[in-house]
């Protein structure tokens, strides 16, 4: 045992030492000796068949090498605007070669690199590196080109009325979509790289003057503290920067819609964009923002308010309806009208299980069918989930394993959970449904009340980057209730929500209510 621990410790030290050597090599400054630079880069990219080292003579005299990755760099632009003018040019002695080359290369963006780390970062994102003999440093040429998905409407956030565009997996396209929405230079974007091996580009976007400086600094500090080998999706970032990692409720909201991200930026929030995923993160949030849809702000305010109230009501049903059914049938039969109780008792006459086991069995089966429908291909996923629920429910009732009222309760609960617009919030409610059902089967309505109280207490203690999760209800902020349980008309929402610290409170001038008789006064 002692030898095994010693061997593991030695192996960890060896790995740490190897990593330190690799990092130190990458931080070396580029040498004037082109062969030495080429040797180090070739050793770093050993067994990388897609990395090309193109050696040529500038003007027929000076040796140079171009390093790029096939599939990430634009080969046509390299041939036409880099290799052709450099090979055919005449040697000039007045200026240094690098200064001359910058004028000869016909591309819009060129940056100088001094270290191997800079070279590796640029090569990895598709920028070819040009190294020249007897020159300290090199040139990074902005010629990336890779396959990317076209801009389409997000399938998970489709709307009847509203923009039909969504984010894609390329962070440069996503930032451009935000710039199209918010054309002010106050929209700031800070870029950083996270991930030892992936070097994933992460962009922190905010509007200067609307977002509080303390909030921006806190988000930036949490991002810079991340030390991880890879970031392949924004979910990595979300778990590493949230306030309470043991809470089932999300403390950041993700979206694929540029209009949703722009609307939150205009309310003083920050947006985190991650390269390689169309899902961007928005912080801080509260419980009520997870129950709001983008379409709430595009339809008339009366329709949006009614739909939002329905959404809140069905969210509560999706959480407690099965547990209320179990509690009433198990402990509180006197609460049910006699005729209804006789009907329910007749349907449960052949069921061999108590109401608690029956509810858990049906809920688990429904969740399995829903998850199977999500994972299967689109062509068969919906059909399997719907047909499976109908066939299994009908067969279970005929076989006497479950009662017909329980099938109805589970179906209503499932439909209610679909009313929640954000998938992560819906999953949290689905998870909490099971412990409340167990409490209802053990303690009756008292167990249901205790479960709901525990959830409310947890929500009261939860925060998102310092913002109370139940704001503006707890603590009460009367001015911000216009966009919580209901949606007030735009001409009444003159102020922004107060998130943290100092903020720009007014988003529009007062007196915007339409009045045709007022004229242009």
pLDDT digits (tens, 9 = 90+) for 52-100: 999 998 888 888 999 999 989 999 999 988 888 888 876 555 455 777 7
The pTM of this model reads 0.87
Based on the domain organization, do 28 and 99 belong to the same domain?
yes
Q: Is 485 within a domain?
A: no
Alpha-carbon radius of gyration of the chain? 30
Q: Is 487 within a domain?
A: no
With both helix axes pointing from N to C terminus, report the angle between 404-417 and 301-331 in degrees, rounded to the nearest 10. 150
Based on the domain organization, do 177 and 56 belong to the same domain?
no
* pLDDT tens-digit readout, 430-480: 899 999 999 999 999 999 999 999 999 999 999 999 899 998 888 888 778
User: Would you say residue 362 has pLDDT above 80?
Assistant: yes
Q: Is 492 within a domain?
A: no
DSSP of 419-468 = T-SSHHHHHHHHHHHHHHHHHHHHHTHHHHHHHHHHHHHHHHH-EETTEE
pLDDT of residue 6: 46
Based on the domain organization, do 193 and 244 belong to the same domain?
yes
Based on the domain organization, do 439 and 322 belong to the same domain?
yes
User: Would you say residue 360 has pLDDT above 90?
Assistant: yes
Based on the domain organization, do 335 and 205 belong to the same domain?
no
pLDDT of residue 18: 44
Based on the domain organization, do 343 and 438 belong to the same domain?
yes
Three-class secondary structure of residue 355 per DSSP:
helix
- Alpha-carbon distances of 275 from 170, 196, 203, 261, rounded to whole Å: 6, 15, 8, 16
pLDDT of residue 273: 96
Residue that is last in its domain, among 228, 258, 285: 285
Based on the domain organization, do 372 and 326 belong to the same domain?
yes
User: Predicted confidence band at 24 (pLDDT cuts at 50, 70, 90)?
Assistant: very low
Question: Which one-letter DSSP state was computed for residue 29?
Answer: B
Based on the domain organization, do 325 and 377 belong to the same domain?
yes
Based on the domain organization, do 112 and 256 belong to the same domain?
no
Pick the closest to residue 498 from 211, 227, 301 (CA basis): 211
pLDDT of residue 19: 47
If one counts the domains in the chain, the total is: 3
Q: Is 431 within a domain?
A: yes
Q: For residues 406-438, b (16+ Cβ closer than 10 Å) or e, as one string?
A: bbebbebbbebbebbbbebbbebbbebbbebbb
Based on the domain organization, do 204 and 233 belong to the same domain?
yes
Q: Is 478 within a domain?
A: no
Based on the domain organization, do 331 and 238 belong to the same domain?
no
Which residues contact residue 335 at a Cβ distance below 8 angstroms, ignoring those fewer than 6 apart? 328
pLDDT of residue 158: 85
Q: Is 444 within a domain?
A: yes
Least confident of 22-26, 89-93, 185-189, 320-324: 22-26
Print the domain residue range for 196.
171-285
Q: What percent of the chain has pLDDT over 90?
A: 46
Q: Name the average pLDDT for the chain.
A: 86
* pLDDT tens-digit readout, 373-419: 777 776 666 666 666 777 777 888 888 888 888 988 988 998 888 88
Residue that has been written with the tokens 């309470």 in this structure: 244
Q: Is 234 within a domain?
A: yes
Q: Is 482 within a domain?
A: no
Based on the domain organization, do 437 and 372 belong to the same domain?
yes
pLDDT of residue 94: 42
Neighbours of 224 (CB within 10 A): 11
Neighbours of 184 (CB within 10 A): 10
User: Predicted confidence band at 21 (pLDDT cuts at 50, 70, 90)?
Assistant: very low
User: Would you say residue 512 has pLDDT above 90?
Assistant: no
Pick the closest to residue 270 from 218, 223, 216, 221 (CA basis): 216
């Amino acid at each position: 045992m002692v030898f095994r621990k010693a061997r593991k410790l030695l192996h960890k030290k060896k790995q740490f030492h190897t990593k330190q050597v690799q990092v130190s090599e990458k931080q070396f400054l580029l040498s004037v000796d082109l062969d030495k630079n080429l040797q180090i880069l070739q050793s770093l990219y050993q067994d990388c068949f897609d990395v090309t080292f193109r050696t040529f003579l500038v003007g027929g005299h000076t040796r140079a090498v171009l390093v790029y990755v096939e599939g990430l760099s634009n080969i046509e632009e390299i041939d036409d605007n880099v290799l052709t003018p450099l090979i055919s040019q005449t040697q000039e002695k007045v200026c240094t070669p690098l200064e001359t080359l910058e004028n000869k290369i016909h591309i819009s963006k060129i940056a100088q690199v001094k270290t191997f780390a800079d070279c590796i970062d640029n090569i990895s994102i598709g920028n070819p590196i040009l190294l020249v003999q007897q020159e300290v440093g090199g040139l990074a040429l902005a010629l990336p080109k890779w396959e990317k998905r076209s801009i389409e409407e997000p399938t998970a956030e489709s709307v009847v009325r509203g923009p039909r565009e969504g984010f894609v997996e390329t962070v440069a396209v996503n930032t451009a979509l935000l710039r199209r929405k918010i054309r002010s230079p106050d929209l700031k974007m800070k870029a950083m790289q996270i991930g030892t091996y992936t070097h994933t580009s992460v962009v922190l976007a905010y509007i200067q003057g609307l977002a509080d400086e303390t909030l921006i600094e806190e988000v930036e500090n949490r991002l810079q503290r991340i030390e991880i080998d890879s970031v392949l999706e924004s979910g990595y970032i979300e778990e590493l920067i949230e306030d309470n990692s043991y809470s089932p409720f999300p403390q950041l909201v993700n979206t694929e819609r540029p209009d949703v991200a722009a609307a939150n930026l205009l309310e003083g929030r920050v947006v985190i964009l991650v390269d390689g995923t169309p899902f961007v993160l928005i912080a801080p949030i509260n419980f009520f923002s997870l129950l709001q849809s983008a379409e709430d702000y595009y339809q008339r305010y009366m329709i949006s308010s009614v739909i939002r109230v329905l959404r809140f009501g069905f969210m509560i049903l999706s959480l407690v309806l099965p547990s209320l059914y179990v509690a009433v049938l198990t402990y509180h039969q006197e609460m049910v009208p006699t005729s209804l109780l006789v009907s329910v008792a007749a349907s449960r006459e052949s069921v061999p299980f108590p109401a608690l086991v029956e509810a858990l069995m049906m809920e688990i089966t429904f969740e399995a069918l829903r998850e199977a429908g999500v994972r299967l291909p689109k062509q068969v996923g919906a059909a399997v989930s719907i047909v499976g629920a109908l066939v299994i429910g009908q067969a279970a009732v005929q076989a006497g394993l479950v009662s017909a009222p329980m099938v109805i309760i589970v179906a209503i609960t499932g439909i209610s959970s679909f009313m929640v617009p954000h998938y992560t919030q819906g999953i949290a409610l689905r998870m909490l449904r099971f412990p409340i059902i167990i409490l209802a089967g053990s303690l009756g309505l008292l167990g249901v009340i205790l479960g709901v109280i525990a959830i409310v207490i947890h929500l009261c203690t939860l925060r998102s980057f310092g913002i109370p999760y139940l704001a503006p209800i707890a603590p009460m902020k009367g001015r911000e209730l216009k966009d919580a349980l209901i949606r007030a008309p735009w001409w009444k929402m003159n102020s922004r929500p107060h998130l943290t610290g100092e903020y720009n409170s007014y988003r529009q001038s007062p007196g915007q209510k339409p009045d045709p008789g007022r004229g242009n006064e």
